[in-house]
Homo-oligomer: A and B are copies of this chain.
Amino acid sequence: MSIQLQPEVQPVQQTQVQPLWTRKHLLGLEDLSADEINRILDDAERFRLQTQDGRKLSVLSGTTTANLFFENSTRTRTSFSLAARRLGGDVIDFSASTSSVSKGETIIDTAKTIEAMHAHAIVVRHHTPGTPHLLSQNLRCSVINAGDGPHEHPTQGLLDIFTIRQHRQKVAGLTVALVGDIAHSRTARSNIWGLKKLGAHVIVCGPATLVSKKWETLGVEVSYSLDEILPRCDVLNLLRIQFERQQTRPFPSVREYVHLYAMNMARLRRAKDDILIMAPGPINRGVELTPDVADGPHSVILDQVTNGLYIRMAVLHLCIGAGKRGEA
Protein backbone atom coordinates (compact mmCIF):
# COMPACT_ATOMS: atom_id res chain seq x y z
CA MET A 1 0.00 0.00 0.00
CA SER A 2 1.45 3.31 -1.03
CA ILE A 3 0.46 6.33 0.95
CA GLN A 4 0.12 9.58 -0.88
CA LEU A 5 -0.26 12.65 1.27
CA GLN A 6 -1.48 15.73 -0.57
CA PRO A 7 -1.96 14.40 -4.06
CA GLU A 8 -2.05 17.04 -6.71
CA VAL A 9 -5.51 18.22 -7.50
CA GLN A 10 -7.07 15.93 -10.05
CA PRO A 11 -8.19 17.90 -13.09
CA VAL A 12 -11.81 17.26 -13.95
CA GLN A 13 -11.58 15.24 -17.09
CA GLN A 14 -14.23 13.46 -19.07
CA THR A 15 -13.72 9.74 -18.95
CA GLN A 16 -13.99 8.49 -22.47
CA VAL A 17 -17.00 6.22 -22.40
CA GLN A 18 -16.64 3.41 -24.85
CA PRO A 19 -19.82 2.56 -26.75
CA LEU A 20 -19.98 -0.99 -25.42
CA TRP A 21 -21.69 -0.49 -22.08
CA THR A 22 -25.43 0.07 -22.10
CA ARG A 23 -26.63 -1.35 -18.78
CA LYS A 24 -28.00 0.91 -16.08
CA HIS A 25 -28.23 -1.96 -13.60
CA LEU A 26 -25.90 -4.73 -12.47
CA LEU A 27 -28.13 -7.54 -11.29
CA GLY A 28 -25.94 -10.57 -11.87
CA LEU A 29 -23.25 -12.12 -14.00
CA GLU A 30 -25.66 -14.62 -15.56
CA ASP A 31 -26.98 -11.87 -17.86
CA LEU A 32 -23.65 -10.39 -18.90
CA SER A 33 -21.70 -11.20 -22.04
CA ALA A 34 -18.00 -11.96 -21.95
CA ASP A 35 -17.41 -8.56 -23.57
CA GLU A 36 -19.33 -6.83 -20.82
CA ILE A 37 -17.42 -8.67 -18.11
CA ASN A 38 -14.13 -7.78 -19.77
CA ARG A 39 -15.20 -4.15 -20.03
CA ILE A 40 -15.73 -4.04 -16.26
CA LEU A 41 -12.39 -5.75 -15.61
CA ASP A 42 -10.60 -3.34 -17.94
CA ASP A 43 -12.17 -0.30 -16.34
CA ALA A 44 -11.33 -1.66 -12.89
CA GLU A 45 -7.71 -2.02 -13.96
CA ARG A 46 -7.70 1.55 -15.18
CA PHE A 47 -9.12 2.79 -11.87
CA ARG A 48 -6.54 0.70 -10.03
CA LEU A 49 -3.73 2.46 -11.85
CA GLN A 50 -5.28 5.86 -11.29
CA THR A 51 -6.19 5.59 -7.61
CA GLN A 52 -3.82 3.11 -5.96
CA ASP A 53 -1.67 5.98 -4.69
CA GLY A 54 -4.63 7.42 -2.76
CA ARG A 55 -5.57 9.89 -5.46
CA LYS A 56 -9.25 10.73 -5.70
CA LEU A 57 -10.98 11.15 -9.04
CA SER A 58 -14.02 13.28 -9.76
CA VAL A 59 -15.83 11.26 -12.40
CA LEU A 60 -18.76 10.63 -10.03
CA SER A 61 -18.94 14.10 -8.52
CA GLY A 62 -22.49 15.36 -8.40
CA THR A 63 -23.80 11.82 -7.93
CA THR A 64 -25.13 10.04 -4.86
CA THR A 65 -24.87 6.31 -4.24
CA ALA A 66 -27.20 4.86 -1.61
CA ASN A 67 -26.44 1.66 0.27
CA LEU A 68 -29.66 -0.17 1.13
CA PHE A 69 -28.59 -3.20 3.13
CA PHE A 70 -31.07 -5.57 4.72
CA GLU A 71 -28.29 -7.85 5.92
CA ASN A 72 -25.29 -6.70 7.89
CA SER A 73 -22.16 -6.34 5.83
CA THR A 74 -19.64 -3.77 6.91
CA ARG A 75 -17.13 -5.15 4.45
CA THR A 76 -19.13 -4.96 1.23
CA ARG A 77 -20.95 -1.78 2.21
CA THR A 78 -17.70 -0.03 3.07
CA SER A 79 -16.13 -1.18 -0.18
CA PHE A 80 -18.96 0.36 -2.20
CA SER A 81 -18.81 3.54 -0.10
CA LEU A 82 -15.10 3.96 -0.59
CA ALA A 83 -15.38 3.21 -4.29
CA ALA A 84 -18.00 5.94 -4.76
CA ARG A 85 -16.19 8.47 -2.61
CA ARG A 86 -12.84 7.92 -4.29
CA LEU A 87 -14.51 8.77 -7.58
CA GLY A 88 -15.86 11.99 -6.06
CA GLY A 89 -19.38 10.73 -5.39
CA ASP A 90 -21.49 11.16 -2.29
CA VAL A 91 -22.82 8.18 -0.30
CA ILE A 92 -25.79 7.62 1.99
CA ASP A 93 -26.41 4.55 4.12
CA PHE A 94 -29.73 2.96 4.89
CA SER A 95 -30.02 -0.06 7.12
CA ALA A 96 -32.99 -2.30 7.66
CA SER A 97 -33.08 -1.87 11.40
CA THR A 98 -33.53 1.89 11.37
CA SER A 99 -35.23 2.43 8.04
CA SER A 100 -38.88 2.91 7.33
CA VAL A 101 -39.23 -0.70 6.28
CA SER A 102 -39.65 -1.46 9.96
CA LYS A 103 -42.63 0.91 9.91
CA GLY A 104 -44.47 -1.18 7.32
CA GLU A 105 -43.27 0.57 4.18
CA THR A 106 -42.78 -1.61 1.10
CA ILE A 107 -39.24 -1.99 -0.15
CA ILE A 108 -40.21 -0.36 -3.45
CA ASP A 109 -41.52 2.70 -1.60
CA THR A 110 -38.35 2.83 0.48
CA ALA A 111 -36.24 2.67 -2.66
CA LYS A 112 -38.35 5.28 -4.44
CA THR A 113 -37.96 7.58 -1.46
CA ILE A 114 -34.19 7.18 -1.65
CA GLU A 115 -34.33 7.83 -5.39
CA ALA A 116 -36.38 10.96 -4.76
CA MET A 117 -33.47 12.28 -2.69
CA HIS A 118 -31.55 12.28 -5.98
CA ALA A 119 -29.76 8.96 -5.59
CA HIS A 120 -28.23 7.87 -8.86
CA ALA A 121 -27.51 4.33 -7.76
CA ILE A 122 -28.98 2.08 -5.09
CA VAL A 123 -26.72 -0.74 -3.92
CA VAL A 124 -29.01 -3.35 -2.41
CA ARG A 125 -28.43 -6.45 -0.31
CA HIS A 126 -31.47 -8.51 0.64
CA HIS A 127 -32.07 -12.07 1.75
CA THR A 128 -34.72 -12.59 -0.93
CA PRO A 129 -33.44 -13.61 -4.37
CA GLY A 130 -34.65 -11.25 -7.07
CA THR A 131 -35.01 -8.18 -4.89
CA PRO A 132 -32.60 -6.14 -7.02
CA HIS A 133 -34.49 -7.20 -10.14
CA LEU A 134 -37.78 -6.09 -8.57
CA LEU A 135 -36.30 -2.71 -7.72
CA SER A 136 -34.77 -2.28 -11.17
CA GLN A 137 -38.21 -2.65 -12.71
CA ASN A 138 -39.63 0.09 -10.51
CA LEU A 139 -36.89 2.69 -10.37
CA ARG A 140 -35.30 5.07 -12.81
CA CYS A 141 -31.94 5.10 -11.03
CA SER A 142 -29.31 2.36 -11.25
CA VAL A 143 -29.66 -0.75 -9.12
CA ILE A 144 -26.56 -2.72 -8.12
CA ASN A 145 -26.97 -6.17 -6.60
CA ALA A 146 -24.76 -6.52 -3.53
CA GLY A 147 -26.10 -9.98 -2.76
CA ASP A 148 -29.63 -11.36 -3.08
CA GLY A 149 -29.96 -14.37 -0.81
CA PRO A 150 -28.16 -17.41 -2.23
CA HIS A 151 -28.65 -16.16 -5.80
CA GLU A 152 -25.93 -13.75 -7.01
CA HIS A 153 -23.28 -11.41 -5.68
CA PRO A 154 -21.92 -10.11 -8.97
CA THR A 155 -19.26 -7.70 -7.68
CA GLN A 156 -17.80 -10.51 -5.56
CA GLY A 157 -17.64 -12.72 -8.63
CA LEU A 158 -16.03 -9.92 -10.63
CA LEU A 159 -13.41 -9.13 -8.02
CA ASP A 160 -12.53 -12.82 -7.75
CA ILE A 161 -12.11 -13.04 -11.51
CA PHE A 162 -10.19 -9.76 -11.60
CA THR A 163 -7.80 -11.14 -8.99
CA ILE A 164 -7.24 -14.31 -11.03
CA ARG A 165 -6.59 -12.30 -14.19
CA GLN A 166 -4.23 -10.00 -12.26
CA HIS A 167 -2.06 -12.92 -11.13
CA ARG A 168 -2.35 -15.13 -14.26
CA GLN A 169 -2.84 -12.50 -16.99
CA LYS A 170 -5.70 -14.65 -18.29
CA VAL A 171 -8.78 -16.57 -17.24
CA ALA A 172 -9.49 -18.78 -20.24
CA GLY A 173 -8.13 -22.26 -19.89
CA LEU A 174 -7.57 -22.10 -16.15
CA THR A 175 -9.09 -24.67 -13.83
CA VAL A 176 -10.82 -23.00 -10.91
CA ALA A 177 -12.30 -24.98 -8.03
CA LEU A 178 -14.96 -23.53 -5.76
CA VAL A 179 -14.73 -25.50 -2.54
CA GLY A 180 -17.18 -25.87 0.29
CA ASP A 181 -20.67 -24.52 0.80
CA ILE A 182 -21.84 -24.30 -2.80
CA ALA A 183 -25.50 -24.70 -1.97
CA HIS A 184 -25.87 -21.50 0.05
CA SER A 185 -23.34 -19.44 -1.85
CA ARG A 186 -24.22 -16.52 -4.07
CA THR A 187 -20.50 -16.08 -4.54
CA ALA A 188 -20.35 -19.53 -6.13
CA ARG A 189 -23.15 -18.74 -8.59
CA SER A 190 -21.64 -15.44 -9.69
CA ASN A 191 -18.21 -17.01 -10.04
CA ILE A 192 -19.54 -19.89 -12.09
CA TRP A 193 -21.38 -17.69 -14.56
CA GLY A 194 -18.50 -15.25 -14.88
CA LEU A 195 -15.72 -17.82 -15.11
CA LYS A 196 -17.55 -19.97 -17.65
CA LYS A 197 -18.20 -17.00 -19.93
CA LEU A 198 -14.49 -16.16 -19.86
CA GLY A 199 -13.52 -19.74 -20.74
CA ALA A 200 -12.35 -21.18 -17.44
CA HIS A 201 -12.98 -24.77 -16.40
CA VAL A 202 -14.92 -24.68 -13.14
CA ILE A 203 -15.15 -27.42 -10.52
CA VAL A 204 -17.49 -27.28 -7.56
CA CYS A 205 -16.25 -29.41 -4.70
CA GLY A 206 -17.63 -30.18 -1.26
CA PRO A 207 -19.71 -32.60 0.76
CA ALA A 208 -22.68 -34.07 -1.07
CA THR A 209 -25.01 -32.25 1.29
CA LEU A 210 -23.65 -28.95 -0.05
CA VAL A 211 -22.86 -29.85 -3.66
CA SER A 212 -25.55 -31.21 -5.94
CA LYS A 213 -25.08 -33.09 -9.19
CA LYS A 214 -27.46 -30.58 -10.82
CA TRP A 215 -24.58 -28.10 -11.05
CA GLU A 216 -23.38 -30.12 -14.03
CA THR A 217 -26.20 -28.59 -16.07
CA LEU A 218 -24.26 -25.30 -15.86
CA GLY A 219 -21.27 -26.92 -17.52
CA VAL A 220 -19.47 -27.31 -14.24
CA GLU A 221 -17.56 -30.35 -13.02
CA VAL A 222 -18.82 -31.73 -9.70
CA SER A 223 -16.45 -33.35 -7.24
CA TYR A 224 -16.71 -34.61 -3.70
CA SER A 225 -13.00 -35.04 -3.16
CA LEU A 226 -10.64 -32.10 -2.87
CA ASP A 227 -7.68 -34.45 -2.83
CA GLU A 228 -8.70 -35.89 -6.17
CA ILE A 229 -9.05 -32.58 -8.03
CA LEU A 230 -6.28 -30.67 -6.26
CA PRO A 231 -3.40 -31.49 -8.63
CA ARG A 232 -5.34 -30.11 -11.60
CA CYS A 233 -6.37 -26.78 -10.05
CA ASP A 234 -4.87 -23.39 -10.93
CA VAL A 235 -7.09 -21.61 -8.42
CA LEU A 236 -8.89 -22.67 -5.27
CA ASN A 237 -11.67 -20.39 -4.05
CA LEU A 238 -12.47 -21.55 -0.53
CA LEU A 239 -16.03 -20.55 0.22
CA ARG A 240 -17.00 -19.62 3.70
CA ILE A 241 -18.86 -22.14 5.83
CA GLN A 242 -21.66 -19.90 7.00
CA PHE A 243 -22.28 -21.32 10.44
CA GLU A 244 -24.59 -18.41 11.24
CA ARG A 245 -26.87 -19.19 8.29
CA GLN A 246 -27.49 -22.90 8.45
CA GLN A 247 -30.38 -24.21 10.43
CA THR A 248 -29.04 -27.73 10.44
CA ARG A 249 -25.43 -28.76 10.19
CA PRO A 250 -24.80 -30.12 6.66
CA PHE A 251 -21.90 -32.32 7.70
CA PRO A 252 -21.28 -34.56 10.72
CA SER A 253 -18.72 -32.29 12.37
CA VAL A 254 -16.42 -29.37 11.67
CA ARG A 255 -13.56 -31.77 12.25
CA GLU A 256 -14.85 -33.99 9.49
CA TYR A 257 -15.13 -31.02 7.14
CA VAL A 258 -11.62 -29.86 7.98
CA HIS A 259 -10.26 -33.34 7.43
CA LEU A 260 -11.71 -33.56 3.93
CA TYR A 261 -11.84 -30.00 2.61
CA ALA A 262 -9.63 -27.62 4.59
CA MET A 263 -6.65 -26.34 2.66
CA ASN A 264 -3.51 -27.02 4.67
CA MET A 265 0.23 -27.24 4.07
CA ALA A 266 0.12 -30.97 3.34
CA ARG A 267 -2.41 -30.41 0.58
CA LEU A 268 -0.56 -27.35 -0.68
CA ARG A 269 2.50 -29.50 -1.32
CA ARG A 270 0.49 -31.68 -3.70
CA ALA A 271 -0.91 -28.68 -5.60
CA LYS A 272 0.55 -26.88 -8.60
CA ASP A 273 3.51 -24.68 -7.77
CA ASP A 274 1.71 -21.51 -8.72
CA ILE A 275 -1.74 -22.31 -7.33
CA LEU A 276 -3.73 -19.29 -6.16
CA ILE A 277 -5.58 -19.58 -2.83
CA MET A 278 -8.64 -17.34 -2.63
CA ALA A 279 -11.40 -16.88 -0.08
CA PRO A 280 -14.21 -14.36 -0.12
CA GLY A 281 -13.97 -13.80 3.63
CA PRO A 282 -14.53 -13.37 6.42
CA ILE A 283 -12.55 -16.57 6.79
CA ASN A 284 -12.85 -19.12 9.57
CA ARG A 285 -9.21 -19.90 10.29
CA GLY A 286 -8.81 -23.61 10.79
CA VAL A 287 -12.00 -24.43 8.93
CA GLU A 288 -11.77 -23.54 5.24
CA LEU A 289 -8.01 -23.15 5.45
CA THR A 290 -5.24 -23.24 7.98
CA PRO A 291 -3.49 -20.06 9.10
CA ASP A 292 -0.20 -20.98 7.40
CA VAL A 293 -1.99 -21.25 4.06
CA ALA A 294 -4.06 -18.11 4.64
CA ASP A 295 -0.92 -16.09 5.37
CA GLY A 296 1.34 -17.91 2.91
CA PRO A 297 2.69 -16.85 -0.48
CA HIS A 298 -0.08 -18.51 -2.51
CA SER A 299 -2.82 -16.59 -0.73
CA VAL A 300 -4.31 -13.59 -2.57
CA ILE A 301 -7.11 -13.07 -0.06
CA LEU A 302 -6.19 -9.49 0.76
CA ASP A 303 -5.71 -8.67 -2.92
CA GLN A 304 -9.34 -9.67 -3.34
CA VAL A 305 -10.36 -7.05 -0.77
CA THR A 306 -8.35 -4.32 -2.46
CA ASN A 307 -9.56 -5.30 -5.91
CA GLY A 308 -13.14 -5.07 -4.67
CA LEU A 309 -12.67 -1.32 -4.54
CA TYR A 310 -11.64 -1.11 -8.19
CA ILE A 311 -14.40 -3.42 -9.40
CA ARG A 312 -17.01 -1.35 -7.55
CA MET A 313 -15.57 1.87 -8.95
CA ALA A 314 -15.93 0.43 -12.44
CA VAL A 315 -19.45 -0.88 -11.87
CA LEU A 316 -20.75 2.34 -10.30
CA HIS A 317 -19.15 4.45 -12.99
CA LEU A 318 -20.47 2.34 -15.86
CA CYS A 319 -24.01 1.95 -14.52
CA ILE A 320 -24.47 5.55 -13.37
CA GLY A 321 -23.05 6.71 -16.67
CA ALA A 322 -25.51 4.51 -18.58
CA GLY A 323 -28.36 5.94 -16.50
CA LYS A 324 -27.21 9.43 -17.36
CA ARG A 325 -27.31 8.63 -21.07
CA GLY A 326 -30.84 7.30 -20.68
CA GLU A 327 -30.01 3.63 -21.16
CA ALA A 328 -32.46 1.04 -19.90
Contact = CB atoms under 8 A, between A and B. Distances in A.
A309 B74 CA distance: 26
B141 A63 contact: no
A1 B105 contact: no
Interface stretch (A32-40, A113-121, A213-221): A113-121
For A56, A72, A243, the residue with the greatest tally of chain B CB atoms inside 10 Å of its CB is: A72
Interface string A108-144: 0110111111101000000000000000000011000
Contacts of A53: 62
A266 interface: no
Copies in the complex: 3
Contacts of A303: 116
A302 B116 contact: yes
Contacts of A140: 1
Contact of A305 (B94, B105, B117, B309): B117
A243 B102 CA distance: 11
9 smallest beta-carbon distances between A and B, as pairs? A54-B62, A105-B282, A100-B282, A116-B305, A3-B324, A116-B302, A7-B62, A72-B98, A4-B62
Interface of A: 1, 3-9, 12, 14, 52-56, 58-64, 72-75, 78-79, 81-82, 85-86, 90, 92, 94-95, 98-100, 102-106, 109-110, 112-118, 120, 140-141, 243-244, 281-285, 302-303, 305-306, 308-309, 320-321, 323-324
Given A1-B141, A5-B321, A109-B281, 10 more contacts: A1-B115, A3-B323, A4-B63, A55-B62, A64-B82, A82-B117, A105-B282, A112-B302, A113-B302, A116-B305
